Amino acid sequence: MNMKKYAIVLLDDYWHPADTILPLLPKILPDSEWNVRVTDDPNYIGALSAAPDLLMNFKDGIANTQIPTPNWYAAGAWSPWTHKLLVEMGGAGYIGVHCGLANIPQDNPVYTELLRGRFLSHPPKCPVTVHITAQHPVTEGVTDFTIDDEHYQMEGMWDKTNVLAMTQSQHGEQVGVWAHEYGNGRVVGITPGHTTEVLLSDGMLRLLRNAVNWAAKR
């Protein structure tokens, strides 16, 4: 009998409430295969004594509209914690989805070392096409699809990762999906995903399921 794998899902901020993400989780992390811990506290992973199989981040670095606005990445602990999980403790998988790529300081190792891509801005929601550009386990069986979403404008170290898909809209073309190994772990970035409707669309579900399987080495 196969043992269930363990996933930690970080979510919930002012612009991306938990209720947007929660309907997705049974679709990509079914109870028959996964034990899932959902948390809104980035500090939760700091107390772990063993690495999970997967860490999924759906939480903006700026969690609310407070002025001055605190940035939990800038607090500094998230970078060594994720490094420990992926490099020192057996190699967790890490997937940053949509807001999980947002408001990461430019000099923070979560951007410069772990993710290698980060959100800069977005125009109003519009039709966005996800155009697959590379064959990879994350894109296996995924064909181009169009969603009504925020078209994330990105900055990245694209020569240090594998770009798998571009996003295209009236606002131009951006890197939309990428993946690479980091220490003993695997990292995936996926930029679409502002609404439940987008997350549950056929193309996104296939992409996210593939990302889960690849990052968690299933």
Per DSSP, what are the bridge partners of residue 190? 97, 177
Looking at the structure of the chain, the number of domains it has is 1
pLDDT at 1: 52
Residue among 44, 125, 50 nearest 91 (CA): 50
The predicted structure's pLDDT at residue 89: 84
Which residue range(s) make up the domain with 36? 5-215
Which pTM value belongs to this model? 0.96
Give, for all 218 residues of the chain, the pLDDT tens digit.
578 999 999 999 999 999 999 999 999 999 999 999 999 999 999 888 888 999 999 999 997 777 677 899 988 888 998 988 988 887 899 999 999 999 999 999 999 999 999 999 999 999 999 999 999 999 999 999 999 999 999 999 999 999 999 999 999 999 999 999 999 999 999 999 999 999 999 999 999 999 999 999 98
pLDDT at residue 65 in the model: 75
What CATH number does residue 54 fall under?
Answer: 3.40.50.880
Q: What is the DSSP letter of 122?
A: -
DSSP secondary structure code for residue 145 in this structure: E
Q: Kindly list the distances between the CA atom of residue 50 and the CA atoms of 7, 54, 114, 125, in Å, as whole numbers in the listed order.
A: 12, 12, 19, 40
